[in-house]
Every structure is written in structure tokens, then in C-alpha cells.
Amino acid sequence: QVQLHEQGPGLVTPSQTLSLTCTVSGGIITSDYYYWHWIRQPPGKGLEWMGVIAFSGTTYYSPSLKSRTSIARDTSKNQFTLQLMSVTPEDTAVYYCAKGYYYCSSTGCSNSFDTWGQGTQVTVSS
């Protein structure tokens, strides 16, 4: 079955760029109709969807984070990545990568997740 594993620095300095990598095993990130998401959960708060990269390579972002977020992929390594720029302490969270779906209709877009990584804690602090 598909497994996901997040990697990245546990501590990031304010104003710098947070970079995370999700390595996928048991599946191929270019497989038709799979979408690869980044989600985070700040301490004491709910899950926040950040963005997704589709099997085609197309990306979609949360409007609230779009100006600071970039999601990319390395198909040779079967990995996808997250960059979050100009971080502040409010970006402190557990960051997850996940596999699922993303679909849009005339009423808006929504997503679902069926496989998650274990999550990685990122703290933004000087």
C-alpha cells in the first residue's frame, strides 16, 4: 500500500523559508487521478489544508497561503515538496503530507484524503 514520509528541519528562523519533502513509496505520484496534499495543524487548532499537486503536475493552493506557498515534485525520486516563505511563529505546526483527491464544481472545490504521513513538527522561532 502507499506510504508517505515527511522530512524537514524541526526548527526554522522567522522570515526564512520552510522546506519539507514527502517521499512516497508503494505508489507513483504520476498515477492517474491521485492528488498529493500538504496539510498542517498548529498547536491547539484544527487541520488546515495548504495545497495540492495533481498527478498531472498542476498545483492548487489555499487562498490564505497562496502568496507564500509553492508545491513541486521530483518524479525521478517519487517525491513532492513544500516551500513556505517568510515564516512567522504562527506557522509553527505539525505538517502532514497526504494522498487523496481534489475536485471542483460550479459551487467550489473540495478535497479528501485517504493516506497520511506520520507528520513532522516544525517550530518557527529565533
The grid coordinates of residue 89 equal: 511563529
Among 106, 69, 71, which Cα is nearest to 85's? 69
pLDDT values of the chain reduced to their tens digit, one per residue, 126 residues: 999 999 999 999 999 999 999 999 999 999 888 999 999 999 999 999 999 999 999 999 999 999 999 999 999 999 999 999 999 999 999 999 999 999 989 998 899 999 999 999 999 999
Other Cβ atoms less than 10 A from the Cβ of 115: the count is 17
Question: What pLDDT was estimated at residue 2?
Answer: 95
**The amino acid at 49:** W
Collapsing DSSP states into helix, strand and coil, what is residue 89? Answer: helix
Look-up of cell digits 500500500: 1
Cα 91 vs. chain centroid, distance in angstroms?
Answer: 13
Cα end-to-end span (Å), the chain: 40
The Cα 72–Cα 17 span in angstroms is: 15
Per-residue exposure over 25-36, b if at least 16 CB sit within 10 Å of its own CB, e if not: eebebeeeebbb
